[in-house]
Amino acid sequence: MSEIQQLEAMVQQLVDEAKKRGATAAEADVSVVTGLSATVRLGEVETVEYNKDRGLGLTVYFGKRKGSASTSDFHAGAIEETVAAACGIAKYTAEDEFSGLPEKDSLAFDYPELDLHHPWEIDSEKAVDLAKACEDAARGYDQRITNSEGASVSTHRGVRVYGNSLGFVGGYGTTRHSISCSVIAQQGESMERDHWYTSSRVPATLDDPEAVGFEAARRAVHRLNARKLATGVWPVLYIADVAGGLWSHFTGAIRGESLYRKSTFLLDSLGTQVFPDYVTLTEEPHLARAIGSAPFDGEGVRTRAHDIVRDGVVQSYILDTYSARKLGMTSTGNSGGVHNLHVRSGDQGLDALLKRMDKGLLINELMGQGVNRVTGDYSRGAAGFWVENGEIQYPVHEITVAGNLRDMFKRIVAVGNDIDPRRNVRTGSVLLEAMTIAGT
């Protein structure tokens, strides 16, 4: 019996036991995650960690009363105690008319194979060797690389099975591997750090560790002798590997919980123009091997490709079953979040966007959490490069970029084709017409 089959049997056991105890409905989730990570610093092994985590969770319903319990113990006695605890809790909770399992016809009884499981047969010794190669490449890149925060190699494998009393049981395996490096550059009184990484579900498609080290070092060196800017209003270009945050602020603002709690600046935005008409955001949950892919969501509801924004207009909220019922709508298959948000790009790369901006700020790092989802107010620390005549002039730091997300979304001028495939939000660089830059 395979691992998934064993977990499926466990899920079915949980659901059946809950029904025997009088539950009108039940759902269970079981997962096992294993991983190995190795970190070196200045050529010496700093940490080698192996983890194996497992857990099961059960939610039962007695009518509209709900109870939940979880454990990391898979023995028969612990499973029985977990079922008893969930049922006991449910008998004392208040009724909630919106609680309960998803509609049966929304469940993914037939779901696709997405090729997400590619284990990396690597031991701790090999992981350490790769991490050392990565850091050695970074430290040897330039004499101005004077220190290191370390290089890491990690591999993780997970198996998850979900099932409920409507007859649905499904499971799949995933893997994720990465190599990363962070180094410090120094020239005179100027000291800067930067990092780089490669990440993939398939170990064979990871960048070479030396390439990761070189890029981390190159980025650190290029930030040396950074200057401050005078306060002003200028165009801003978010480089691809930080631009995803802009779109995440948007998806957070149209999540069901934010909407029914009325704690978002995009309340009642369905069908309204939020972005320029050339902006389209598509959820693509069934991309083979992609980081954000999933055949079904956290409730077993089928995932599907659809436009969340089309031609700048909001087409869909991001809903699980509970929030959908609260709003009088239907689940969008987003229990657990968005799966592979793809931002439609233009035909320009980063260099072309710099030319188009002409004069302004290129941002390659953001700091702080100064985003108010209720009002849309946005203020974050930033670092990057000052641009004139479409070319980078010098690095800048110790500045703040500020605005309001509603205005920022409308002021998006272009999205580049330099898409970063390592992330769940697949976007290129994003050029904004203007933002307030607070400096000296």
**Tens digit of each residue's pLDDT (9 = 90 or more) over 318-362:** 999 999 999 999 999 999 999 999 999 989 999 999 999 999 999
Given a cut of 80, whether residue 1 has pLDDT beyond it is no
Q: Which residue in 151, 149, 169 sits closest to 160, CA to CA?
A: 169
**pLDDT band per the 50, 70, 90 thresholds, residue 439:** confident
DSSP state of 267: T
Given a cut of 80, whether residue 313 has pLDDT beyond it is yes
**pLDDT band per the 50, 70, 90 thresholds, residue 247:** very high
pLDDT on residue 399:
96
**To the nearest whole number, what is the mean pLDDT of the chain?**
96
> Could you give the dihedral angle defined by the CA atoms of residues 383, 386, 392 and 393, in that order, rounded to the nearest 10 degrees?
-120
**pLDDT band per the 50, 70, 90 thresholds, residue 271:** very high
CATH label, 3-222, candidates 3.90.1300.10, 3.30.2290.10, 3.30.460.90, 2.40.10.10: 3.30.2290.10
DSSP state of 205: G
What is the average pLDDT across 428-436?
97
pLDDT on residue 428:
97
Given a cut of 80, whether residue 17 has pLDDT beyond it is yes
Would you call 28 helix, strand, or coil by DSSP? strand
Tally of helices (H runs) and strands (E runs) in the chain: 9, 17
Given a cut of 90, whether residue 239 has pLDDT beyond it is yes
pLDDT on residue 2:
87
**Tens digit of each residue's pLDDT (9 = 90 or more) over 107-137:** 999 999 999 999 999 999 999 999 999 999 9
Q: Which residue in 413, 253, 237, 419 sits closest to 342, CA to CA?
A: 419
pLDDT on residue 440:
83
What is the C-alpha to C-alpha distance for residues 98 and 108, in angstroms, rounded to an integer? 21
- Contacts (Cβ under 8 Å, ≥6 apart) of 142: 185, 217, 221
The answer to whether the beta carbons of residues 252 and 175 sit under 8 Å apart is no
Would you call 3 helix, strand, or coil by DSSP? helix
**Tens digit of each residue's pLDDT (9 = 90 or more) over 48-86:** 999 999 999 999 999 999 999 999 999 999 999 999 999
Would you call 167 helix, strand, or coil by DSSP? coil
**pLDDT band per the 50, 70, 90 thresholds, residue 40:** very high
The answer to whether the beta carbons of residues 371 and 405 sit under 8 Å apart is yes
What is the C-alpha to C-alpha distance for residues 26 and 90, in angstroms, rounded to an integer? 11
Q: Which residue in 92, 94, 74 sits closest to 30, CA to CA?
A: 74
* CA-only gyration radius of the chain, Å: 24
Q: Which residue in 246, 248, 253, 285 sits closest to 267, CA to CA?
A: 253
Given a cut of 80, whether residue 425 has pLDDT beyond it is yes
Q: Which residue in 72, 70, 68 sits closest to 322, CA to CA?
A: 68
**Quick one: what percent of the chain has pLDDT higher than 70?**
100
- Could you tell me where in the chain the CATH 3.30.2290.10 domains are found? 3-222
**Tens digit of each residue's pLDDT (9 = 90 or more) over 380-403:** 999 999 999 999 999 999 999 999
pLDDT on residue 346:
87
Q: Which residue in 213, 59, 28, 35 sits closest to 135, CA to CA?
A: 213
**pLDDT band per the 50, 70, 90 thresholds, residue 368:** confident
What is the C-alpha to C-alpha distance for residues 247 and 278, in angstroms, rounded to an integer? 15
**Quick one: what percent of the chain has pLDDT higher than 90?**
97
The answer to whether the beta carbons of residues 187 and 194 sit under 8 Å apart is no
What is the C-alpha to C-alpha distance for residues 366 and 285, in angstroms, rounded to an integer? 28
